[in-house]
Amino acid sequence: MKLLVLGGTAWVGHTVAATALAAGHHVTCLARGDDVTDGTALVHADRDRDDALASVAAEHWDAVIDVARQPGHVRRAVRDLEPMVERYIFVASGNAYASQEEIGQNEDALLLDPLDADAMASMEDYGAAKVACENAVLAGFGSSRTVIVRAGLIGGPGDLSGRSGYWPWRFAHPSSEDGAVLVPDAPELPTAIIDIRDLAAWLVLLAEGGPVGTFNATGMPVPFFEHIDAARAAAAHHGAIVRAPESWLADHGVGEWSGPRSMPLWLADRSWYGMNARSNERALAAGLALRPLADTLAATLHWEIARADTGSHGAGLTDSDERELLAALA
């Protein structure tokens, strides 16, 4: 297969290109940067330019995989590549849905209104921008040549956000001498992580001629404390789990979901619980294979340990922050 990856230097595109190469395909990455997988052909281009795809638009491609978030980038790609590409696979997002509250919603759920502009003004436009990108691909390629993959939270080795790496890392490196680890008391919170390696393998499968359509690409939803148990097992942790009330964490300046001084994956607002509990039945029927969560967390911990000299894990509490909070809760 002759595959064009629009991107290839960031985490998802890079992993997709490497996976396709390992499967024996010919891969070309179109990107501004240089950090592409060895063995791929690289075409330098800035997708802000109207003629960015001119060189690749002169060749025939079996499939293109696009991870863009700017509608203008996708609209120009569809315009230029439609005559030369058999299948367009667009990596969209679960943020495209109008509601994040319902548990188990499938791909037929209501979407946000599409962004009219060619570029997002801020990350608040992200979901609407992804909807506009989806619409552009469907308008140009039609339903018979389009695959829309609405990805959920992606984790695994290489996750710089810390959302999949913080908990196994924290359990492997407790801040307190007695090994206690602070967690939010959120037993009803669903979590779902799709391993980057599983997502990449499935995207390549779809490019090879798998089913067309729209799919939720998410991990299997599990309760938060089941995720915590898997992280503890990956780290061989035997210390105490200290549960902090959600309101107490908020009062002490602890953030949700990601970022500094946060409890990664924690969502206090129940109207967001559906984000991590969508139906992935269509994707599983279309060949998506998911490894056990424990395997993902163990591999992520191994990657985190290998990069420990960076001093940053993308999200969570520092050792001093956690010790301070544990002392305050005692």
25: pLDDT strictly greater than 90: yes
pLDDT tens digits for 196-213? 999 999 999 999 999 999
98 and 162 co-located in one domain:
no
* Residue 230, domain member (yes or no): yes
Instruction: Note the pLDDT of residue 307.
Output: 85
* Residue 273, domain member (yes or no): no
Q: What is the DSSP string of 278-308?
A: ---HHHHHTT-----HHHHHHHHHHHHHHTG
Q: Which domain holds residue 181?
A: 157-192+221-268+291-329
Mean per-residue pLDDT over the chain, rounded:
96
* Residue 274, domain member (yes or no): no
* Residue 308, domain member (yes or no): yes
Domain count, the chain: 2
* Residue 277, domain member (yes or no): no
309: pLDDT strictly greater than 70: no
312 and 227 co-located in one domain:
yes
118 and 15 co-located in one domain:
yes
* Residue 225, domain member (yes or no): yes
232 SS3 class: helix
How is residue 241 annotated by DSSP? E
93 and 181 co-located in one domain:
no
Instruction: Note the pLDDT of residue 311.
Output: 58
82 and 227 co-located in one domain:
no
pLDDT tens digits for 166-183? 999 999 999 999 999 999
Residue written as token pair 């544990």: 326
* Gyration radius of the chain's alpha carbons: 21
pLDDT band at residue 308 using 50, 70 and 90 as cut-offs: confident
pLDDT tens digits for 108-162? 999 999 999 999 999 999 999 999 999 999 999 999 999 999 999 999 999 999 9
* Residue 276, domain member (yes or no): no
